[in-house]
Amino acid sequence: MRSENENNRTPDEETRVPEENGGSWKFWRNAKLSIHKKLFFVLLVVSAVSFLILSIISLVGMHIIWEGVGAGGERMGHKAAEFTEDFAEDTIRGQMISVVAEKASRTERVVSLAAEEVEYISGHLDRILRQPADYKPRILPQASQGPVPSGKTYVNISDRVRQTEGITAFNEEIWLASNIADVFESMADYYPACFAGSIHGYLIAADVTADGSDKTFSDYFKRDYDPRTMGWYTLGTGRQKPAFTNVYTDSNGVRSVSIAMPYHYPDGSEAGVVGIDFNPKEVDDVISVIESSDLIMGDASFVLSPTGEVMFSTQKEGVLAISETRRDLRNSEEISLAHAAAIMTQGGTGIATITADGKEYYLAFAPIQSVGWSLGIVTNTESVLKLAQQARENIDAQTDMFRHALRSLFIRLAIWAVILLVGIFLVLFFVSEKVSTIFVKPLLTVIDGVNGIAQGDLDRKLNVKTGDEIEHLADCVNTMTDELKEYMNNLSSVTAEKERIATELDLATNIQEGMLPGIFPTFSGREEFDLFATMDTAKEVGGDFYDFYMLDEDHIALTVADVSGKGVPAALFMVIAKTVLKNATISAAGAYAGGGEPDFAAVVGQANRQLCENNKEKMFVTVFFGVLDIRTGVFAYVNGGHNPPLIGRAAGGAPRAGGSLTWDYVQIENPGFVLGVRKKASFTVEHLTLRRGDTLFLYTDGVTEAMDEEGNLYGEEQLKGYLDRAGNKETAQAILAAVKSDVSRHVGAAEQSDDITMLALAFYGKQSGQEPAPQEA
């Protein structure tokens, strides 16, 4: 049916064909038929011409053709049927080889990934033993002390090992090697067990229980267990690469595979063996997925070890199932199966016909080279041959139908040839020539144009005027080319701009991080205090900052501040505020040389005036600034509109070593005004005295105003409550880490809305001697 646009075409838009076709073809030129109708007409012409030729042939040699076609068609049908049967069988065998190679490759990736994890554990433990100065002693729970949470790392030194090795001589090594715990616990979601057994008999491990309950230990494990007697330890000793055990059933009745290799002392000698337990289910999942798209039919798949043992199998029973007796298929009574198993254990690839459990199968196999295993897939030969036989029967049936149809066709040809031979011969010949020229030319034009566009010529335009779907197709191609050209131009510009912005933001982040003190402990040899600070920005760069620096041998300055806004503007104003305040403080610190105390209110006031100058964007910064006299514990501070800090008072005023602290907010009589807004703002110095063991906790409102997904704030009361429960950590760094963890728990999946900055200082005062060394493991 013609559209409205087609009915409204002007004479100039009429279908155009070459003038050499002649004026007698105006009907065809003006017909504006659809492609479907034109194609139908062409087919009709071709059919008529073919019919004419067949009619002539039938009149000349119908008897000869009939006899020849009868005998030749039957021979051809038989040969085609035989070829189809062979082709179907070869195709299925080829599909089996392709599928088993793909499954073997996927299995290879699964086990290689697990082996790489073991290599990483070994290398990390080598680095810990080689660079002990980079790691602090770490004490882990011991198995002898009771259950351990699932997935958490523990140490086991059995009574027998303690008696034979005198293990106290290796306490420092155990504390150092215990730093591998972070690596073990990061792998808890992927592997049921990670372990490291020392040549001295101690074990560091992390086990994941099936139900997530605490890990309990048997009396044997605590009394007599020695990792050096374990099969995985013997397997891993002396290896350059990870080694795999056969599949075994552990003490919990779970199938498992252990992967092990040694780790070393700095002199290159073996210090012990590390490893992981690998869940065979990952291999089961790979080999069991034999879909209809992969293979016409697959009865079973299995993995064979280098010793001929079935390690994994989708069969539950039979010779190809996993055997408790660990039978060697190379010794099977079925000669074909034993021969194929021998080739598989040697790393061969191919397909063979085997007999298993009284049935004949095609077995396709391919090696899993990194572990010396081999993957096999079996398909019942009866199923394959049945499909091939069906294909042959279909060909035979088609041949019979062809013979009957040919006979009917000859009879019709004989009748129509006599009637139509003379009348249509000349007409059909002439029409065929004209129609071919008219119909093919615009199609050739479109094909040539599309080929040029495909080669990159996006400026090329198709000029086809036929008035049908071919012309519409050419217009669509032209429109697509214009849109593609515009899209490519826009894409290049947008990509370049995004890359430039990302590079500049990365650079700004690095610069900002470099301006903040980031090495702890900063003050070498200082035993009067412990200090740590962190900043987590909400965007690539932030407006919070912290600072600390010594004014002389006995005074340390502390600053925590929060600039209004976030992102690049806040970061720039942060740099100015930090620099101005530090310069003013250092300039005023000369008062200490004369035995006096600087006027810190004047210091903050001077910084405020400088920030007010040329502050066209009306930005401001809240500041908590203080100076601690580490001899007396007197802390002089000035608050510029900032959150009040918290102070943890140690019980009895004794130096803190994991003891309890009582937390409360510092009482600020004059909270002051933010810096950068009022040039004549005044500030007040206040004082408090820290006793030995007391801890100061400074923070920005990013902590207390952290919101969860429902918009609930973390809040000052929750912060104080958490510090009362968990703020008795042994180091300032541990306190900050604990608070950050609790804030993250509160926020959940919500996006961070503000920069989070924290600083903790534990005051110990002047004291003699060192704190007690870590207790024996």
Cα dihedral value 652, 655, 658, 660, nearest 10: 20
* CB-count exposure of residue 54 (10 Å: 0-12, 13-18, 19+): middle
b/e sequence 640-669, b meaning 16+ C-beta within 10 Å: bbbbbbbbbbbeeeebbeeeebebeebebe
pLDDT of residue 382: 77
- Angle between helix axes 381-454 and 35-130 (nearest 10 degrees) is 100
Cβ atoms 377, 77 nearer than 8 A: no
- Angle between helix axes 732-747 and 716-726 (nearest 10 degrees) is 130
- Output the six-digit token pair for 663: 């937390």
**Tens of pLDDT, residues 506-545:** 555 555 555 567 656 556 567 889 999 999 887 766 778 9
Question: Residue 505: enclosing H or E segment and its boundaries?
Answer: helix 469-515
pLDDT of residue 29: 55
Amino acid letter, 243: A
Q: What is the pTM of this model?
A: 0.41
Q: What is the DSSP string of 691-723?
A: PTT-EEEEE-HHHHT-B-TT--B--HHHHHHHH
Within 10 Å of residue 568's Cβ, how many Cβ atoms? 17
342, β-bridge pairs: none
Over the chain (777 residues), what is each successive 10-residue block's mean pLDDT?
46 45 53 58 66 68 66 68 71 82 86 90 94 93 91 92 80 92 90 93 92 89 92 92 82 80 95 90 69 52 87 83 82 89 90 88 88 86 69 73 74 71 62 64 77 78 78 84 79 66 53 58 72 85 86 93 83 88 90 84 93 87 95 94 92 58 85 90 93 93 92 92 85 92 92 90 73 35
Of 277, 283, 275, the C-alpha closest to 119 is 275
Of 540, 499, 438, the C-alpha closest to 21 is 438
pLDDT of residue 7: 46
Domains of the chain: 35-427 (no CATH), 516-763 (3.60.40.10)
pLDDT of residue 745: 94
Q: What backbone torsions phi and psi does residue 241 show, to the nearest 5 degrees?
A: -130, 160
